[in-house]
Amino acid sequence: MDPLVLGALVAVFTIVILFSGVSVAVGLLIVSAGFLLIFDGTRSLEMMPEIFFADLNSFTILSIPMFIIMGAAIASTRAGADLFEALERWLTRVPGGLVVSNLGACALFAAMSGSSPATCAAIGKMGIPEMQKRGYPDGVAAGAIAAGGTLGILIPPSVTMIVYGIATETSIGRLFLAGVVPGFMLMGLFMAWAIFATWRSGNIAVLSPRHYSLREKFEILPRILPFLVVILGVLYAMYGGVATTSETAAVGAVLCLGMAIVIYKMWNPRAIWTVLRDSTRESVMILFIMAAAGVFAYMMSSLFITQSVAQWIAALEVNRWVLMGIINLFLLVAGFFLPPVAVILMTAPILLPILDAAQFDPYWFAVILTINMEIGLITPPVGLNLFVINSIAPNISLRTILVGSAPFVGCMILAIVILCFVPGIATWLPDLVMGPS
Amino acid sequence: EELRLSHQFSPGDLRHRIAEIVAEEVAAADVDLTIKIFPSGSLFKATEQYVPLSRGQLDMTVFPLSYAGGQRPEYNLTLMPGLVKNHEHAARLNASPFMDEIEAILNEDDVMTLVKGYLAGGFASMGACITRPEDVKGMTVRAAGKGFEEMLQAAGASIASMPSSETYNAMQQNVLNALNTSSSSFVSFRLQELAKCYTPASDVALWFMYQPMLINKSTFDGLTPEQQAALMAGAAKAEAYYLEEAKKEDAQSVEVFREAGVEIAEMTQEDFDAWQALAQESSYKQFVANAPDGQRLLDMALSVE
Amino acid sequence: MPGPTSAAPAYRRGAGFVRAVHAVSTLCGWFAAACTIIALFVTCHMIFVRAVLGQSTIWQTEAVIYLMIAATVIGLPYVQKLRGHVNVDLVPLALGPRARRVLAYVTLSATLVVIALLAWHSWHIWHEAFDRNWKSSTVWAPPLWVPYLVLPVGFGLFVLQLLADLVALATGLDAPFGVREA
Ligand code: NA
Ligand code: NA
């Protein structure tokens, strides 16, 4: 059978099986097993566990659970609340100070967490009730936290950047740096919208400054000191010649666990177990998808689908920006349904040769891809951040959360467009720190 | 009929070219046989190819044999410091009874060799040049191959194990002080941008790695005589090309490093002897202890003039 | 994403089996968390040994990899118990109660089959590595059957947890896709 026809069949079956409600990783395994059995015989089926093992057999994957532990440890303390309170006291003169502080806290927290749901939960637990109390519209409050939480995978460290780095064999240190400026740019766009939406809702009163004394402003500062220590410690380990990027993740996890236990007095074994349980749950889920996607990629390559599809697209000879538009549309749709890790792993083998041929920078593209994945986190039906908001703010309806998040999706699309016109936003910092690629 | 060939190398690599030559020759022979190449580890990861090959789940591969040293300790001899002196010596070794012994072990695993070939390599360092064992003392080194790690450790170096994708960053950050790998890998890792000194393979070289093209034996036996003949003819052509190009790789890497302004060091016969004496005490000893019949194989390899 | 399984009345048939399996899966979770924490400290040890003591790091990288593989594979049944494996539940939620129940049986059985397949073949891989005394091709050279052992064990326990889920579904301890009808 022609590999392209086979590819179409795989696409159809994958969609049908994933929509059946089976878990994403298992769905990928079912499709792989079925196609390998029919088109390659039992010999490939026998190897599935070995391929599964081989896909986990890499030191780099260590950084995924480690960066998840980092976020979970901090999220379990009141560190997120401290951070946002400090920002609020200092940003009091800024209109919409509270929502701006929340978004800023999300961005800073993202610098210590590799995953988006953790960022969302850490800031939202305190931030959403506070915003509601002070009269911000529910939709703005929920949407800002849902969207701000997605910065967790754009501002380093980032689990999805690690997965991209593994799949494309690009430098993870460089990928991390590429996300910094776009991450803060996106934060700025979110803030602009949040202020505008609050103003438009007529609750202008909440935008007016609340007064804090200088004493209040300074007494909060020691409470955000641990954050700075952790962030600087991780940066020093990563870019200062102590450890490789993957090893740095372990340093970060130790620093954050230590900070949670010593500074925030998380002595209780039950509290420590909660952190470990939550991070085990998230990292096993992600690594299972990674390994299953590896089996899926083997099936696609073995049946020559990956290679044929890449050749076919390369032969289309469309304008490179049209190509980029189509790729974005495709990623956007895939992101609606699938968790970021699955999208990256399933598409990277096909997309990379195409991007290479069209001379797109792989680090710049990683940022575009990540913003696409961020959109997926706040759109139904599978939007991890939406579920998080739903569980931390049960008094806000899912509908309100969705409607409130929608304009932030607009901000993200705008960010992608800006990045297409000014690629330097992503590539400037890595070039500055690590030399031109 | 279609055979699947997997390897870990990029399409610009010499070893991909070897696979292509065989595939092209077989196609030109018009014997109803095609070889489909899966480069860059797009089917199997680098170190995961031997087992599927021996089970017939994979038909062919171009493969550094020492990667399978965990399954067959004898293969560790195909990447042992000081065993091969230069490319001519490697060619004589390929034709020696020692290689027949290796072939017999391959056959036991239902694998046979189509194309024999060695590639050479050297050292790149972030500090002083590495020519003698004393030079690596106190350095953190990533070495390619178990035998080299054992020898460098005996020389007083610290061995760091890390994935090859992290070596560039590790060198840049001085997590690693020196690297030992093949000439072409140095260039593909772009280490000329970082290294202060490069010790290439020249008239004498320490690092030689056996990287043959292998085929599953049952698969080969199941082919028609015409198909087998076409494969063997293609393999012979590829083997001659492999030897010629392997020498050029070393020279090309020197050119790349020299252009980048990296100091080029040279290893003398005396340096080589010092390394080999050290290897006697470390990696050779370890090898003999771990491989059944190890001493006999080692002697056979060393006896090749 | 349905929440954790609701507490079930103890008198129902099959409840004992389901509870026992849940206990085993929870143990798996502890084991996975322990492996992750050990990997964390081994990594820090490696950095210390290399950066501060300037000594060789021979075994750490590989040990960390195997610990993380163990954490992942042994963690599978635990995360299944927590309903932590993310899925697309758009269609199941849109269906009527009967169709949803049927779909729940179909997806759970399909999962069971494919994981059992993996468990079965992993057993052979483990056996081959054990039988032939395969080692890793590094200086440390640990026997490969040790890391390979997590595959049959992890997938096997995953199968057990899926069986318990099937029993819970059949006996009404658990609702299809976690959706209880009013
Ligand atoms: Na982050
Ligand atoms: Na989504």
d(CA B120, CA B139): 22
* pLDDT > 60? residue A30: yes
Residue A209: pLDDT band (50, 70, 90) is low
* pLDDT > 60? residue B49: yes
Q: Which two tokens stand for residue A54?
A: 């081989």
- The rounded Å distance from CA A383 to ligand 2 centre is 4
d(CA B125, CA B178): 4
Between chains, do C141 and B175 touch, taking CB under 8 Å as contact? no
Interface test with B, best of A44, A45, A47, A431 (most B CBs within 10 A): A47
Parallel, antiparallel or unpaired: strands B111-115 and B158-159: unpaired
Q: Does C58 touch chain B (CB under 8 A)?
A: yes
- The rounded Å distance from CA A152 to ligand 1 centre is 4
> Residue A205: its pLDDT value, please?
63
Contacts B170 to A, Cβ<8 Å: 244
Which of A43, A59, A240 is facing B57, going by the closest CB pair?
A43
Contacts C52 to B, Cβ<8 Å: none
d(CA A155, CA A169): 20
d(CA A119, CA A282): 13
Which is higher by pLDDT, A130 or A181? Answer: A181
Which is higher by pLDDT, A310 or B69? Answer: B69
pTM: 0.92
Smallest CA–CA distance from C132 into chain B, residue: B71
> Residue C2: its pLDDT value, please?
42
Which of C36, C87, C151 is facing A21, going by the closest CB pair?
C87
> Residue A216: its pLDDT value, please?
85
Smallest CA–CA distance from C142 into chain B, residue: B70
Which is higher by pLDDT, A62 or C148? Answer: C148
Q: Which ligand has an atom closest to residue A374 CA?
A: 2
Residue B201: which of B260, B120, B257, B135 has the closest Cα? B120
Residue B248: pLDDT band (50, 70, 90) is very high
Chains that touch B (3 or more CB pairs under 8 A): A, C
Smallest CA–CA distance from A300 into chain B, residue: B43
Smallest CA–CA distance from B3 into chain A, residue: A302
> Residue C8: its pLDDT value, please?
45
Parallel, antiparallel or unpaired: strands B140-143 and B178-182: parallel
SS3 call for B160: strand
Q: Does B175 touch chain C (CB under 8 A)?
A: yes
Between chains, do C50 and B71 touch, taking CB under 8 Å as contact? no
Contact between B153 and B222 (Cβ < 8 Å): no
d(CA A416, CA A225): 34
> Residue C182: its pLDDT value, please?
56
Which is higher by pLDDT, B161 or A120? Answer: A120
Between chains, do C72 and A287 touch, taking CB under 8 Å as contact? yes
Compute the average pLDDT of residues C157-168: 97
d(CA A170, CA A148): 27
SS3 call for B141: strand
pLDDT per residue over A392-421, tens digit each? 888 888 889 999 999 999 999 999 999 999
Which of B47, B73, B159 is facing C56, going by the closest CB pair?
B159
> Residue C126: its pLDDT value, please?
96
* pLDDT > 70? residue C11: no
pLDDT per residue over A343-382, tens digit each? 898 888 888 888 888 889 999 999 999 999 999 999 877 7
Per the DSSP assignment, residues forming a β-bridge with B142 are B179
Q: What are phi and psi of A417, to 5 degrees?
A: -60, -45
> Residue C6: its pLDDT value, please?
47
CB-based burial of residue B104 (10 Å sphere; 0-12 exposed, 13-18 middle, 19+ buried)? Answer: exposed
Which of B67, B70, B175 is facing C141, going by the closest CB pair?
B70
Q: Which two tokens stand for residue A179?
A: 């996300």
pLDDT per residue over B154-171, tens digit each? 999 988 877 776 788 788
Lowest mean pLDDT among A264-268, A376-380, B284-288, C152-156: A264-268
To the nearest whole Å, the CA of C144 is away from the closest chain B CA by: 9
Residue B15, C-beta contacts closer than 8 angstroms, at least 6 positions apart: B7, B9, B62, B211
Contact between A304 and A40 (Cβ < 8 Å): no
d(CA A189, CA A383): 21
> Residue B53: its pLDDT value, please?
96
Q: What integer best gives the mean pLDDT of chain A?
A: 88
> Residue A334: its pLDDT value, please?
87
To the nearest whole Å, the CA of A274 is away from the closest chain C CA by: 11
d(CA A199, CA A392): 25
Percent of chain B with pLDDT over 90: 79
> Residue A38: its pLDDT value, please?
95
> Residue A417: its pLDDT value, please?
95
Contacts B73 to C, Cβ<8 Å: 135
In order, the DSSP letters of A199-221 are HHTT-HHHHS-----HHHHHHTH
Q: What integer best gives the mean pLDDT of chain C?
A: 90
Q: Where are the alpha helices (DSSP H) in A151-200?
A: 159-168, 172-200
Contact between A371 and A326 (Cβ < 8 Å): no
Lowest mean pLDDT among A142-146, A170-174, C12-16, C21-25: C12-16
pLDDT per residue over A416-427, tens digit each? 999 999 999 999
* pLDDT > 60? residue C4: no
Compute the average pLDDT of residues B45-69: 94
Interface test with C, best of B71, B75, B148 (most C CBs within 10 A): B71
Compute the average pLDDT of residues A257-277: 87
- The rounded Å distance from CA A161 to ligand 1 centre is 9
* pLDDT > 70? residue C5: no
SS3 call for B83: coil
pLDDT per residue over B105-127, tens digit each? 999 999 999 999 999 999 999 98
pLDDT per residue over A215-230, tens digit each? 888 888 888 888 788 8
Residue C57: pLDDT band (50, 70, 90) is confident
Between chains, do C84 and A277 touch, taking CB under 8 Å as contact? no
